[in-house]
Amino acid sequence: MRHGEEMKQTPASNGEGIPKDFLCEAYLPRSKLAEFYLKLKSSSLEKVTKMLLEKKIVEIYGFQNLDLEKGEIIKGFLADISGSNEDARDIAESLKNINGVLEVKFSDNSLDGLIIDELFFPLMVGGERSFTLRVESFGAILKRLYEKFGTGAAVILYEMGLGMGESKFKSVVNKYHVDKQTAVKIILAERSAKGWCISQLEGYGKNGAVIVVRELFECLPFKNNQERPISHFFRGYLTGIFQQAYGKSVNVTEVECIAKGESFCKFIIQAVK
């Protein structure tokens, strides 16, 4: 197999990733918590940041999205406002009075030091409507499926993955107008950004590829307690992607797996002649 260009190393590629905990909820007993939404002209960001600092407002979780065309920023955050002697309503009023701040909303609906985001919906990831599922919950779903349907579950999961992989490949090619190998790289890089796993393309040739995957959500719930590799969903997903990339049938085999005690999962992709 010809070895292609390696994926660029990301900070997370060493397997010691930096967690990304996005705005959802915060629990800080004995603190005064609040949530804010701001829409502002990007030129006003400095004034907003300065005011928050002056009022000793500490952002706990947040995000900031810039709309380049409009020159507007959407900013959302959960904050500890204990350091300020104002309540959330006063703070929101002061923010509104800053020149260039177009809209402010707030919530101070916290319960015994717990505040849950209630200003933002839906959850968008990369501009696409998404929802989250805990790895542990997905593990429980898998365990139940295997218990009830045995090898039938493996087939169902493989087929689910296959369908997703195929449509993902088509959508990436349509969206970014890239060649097939680049599309594969984008999809694998996105798996990390979306929390699936950290995957690395170890080799890419005309008739096959090798992918090393760390922390795969599908195998993590079975870590160290299987005799055989356990991935069927992700194996199907890779099959779907590479069948699209190669324009022919491929076989994907998981040859190493964290479920049987190895430190990563490894997939061999072979095009069928």
Name the segment binding Zn ion (CB under 5 A); options: 34-42, 57-65, 99-107, 252-260: 252-260
Interface region with Zn ion, contact rule CB under 5 A, candidates 107-115, 146-154, 175-183, 251-259 = 251-259
Number of residues that bind Zn ion (CB under 5 A): 4
Phi/psi for 206 (5° steps) reads -65, -35
Length of the chain: 273
Peptide bond into 11 cis (omega under 30): no
219 near Zn ion (CB under 5 A):
yes
Tokens matching residue 3 = 């070895």
Residue 201 Cβ, how far from Zn ion at the closest point, in Å? 17
199 makes contact with Zn ion (CB under 5 A): no
Could you tell me which stretch among 104-112, 127-135, 138-146, 216-224 binds Zn ion (CB under 5 A)?
Answer: 216-224
Structure tokens belonging to residue 17: 């990733």
| Single residue of 31, 107, 200, 231 touching Zn ion by CB under 5 A | 231
- Is-contact 40 75, C-beta < 8 A? yes
Question: CA-to-CA distance for 152 and 209, rounded, in angstroms?
Answer: 27
| Interacting span for Zn ion (CB under 5 A) from 20-28, 152-160, 195-203, 215-223 | 215-223
Among 265, 268, 269, 271, binds Zn ion (CB under 5 A): 265
172 touches Zn ion by CB under 5 A: no
- Sequential DSSP letters for 51-107: HHHHTT-EEEEEEEEEETTTTEEEEEEEEE-TTSSS-HHHHHHHHHTSTTEEEEEEE
Kindly provide the residue ranges of all beta strands, DSSP E only, lying in the chain, ordered along the sequence.
25-27, 33-41, 58-67, 72-80, 101-107, 110-111, 114-116, 124-125, 128-129, 198-204, 208-214, 250-256, 265-271
Taking the complex as a whole, how short is the minimal distance between the CB of residue 218 and Zn ion, in angstroms?
7
Of 26 and 265, CB closest to Zn ion: 265
Smallest separation, CB 258 to Zn ion (Å): 5
Q: Does 26 bind Zn ion (CB under 5 A)?
A: no
Binding of Zn ion by 257 (CB under 5 A): yes
The verdict on 238 binding Zn ion (CB under 5 A) reads no
Kindly list the residues in this chain that would bind Zn ion in the complex (CB under 5 A): 219, 231, 257, 265
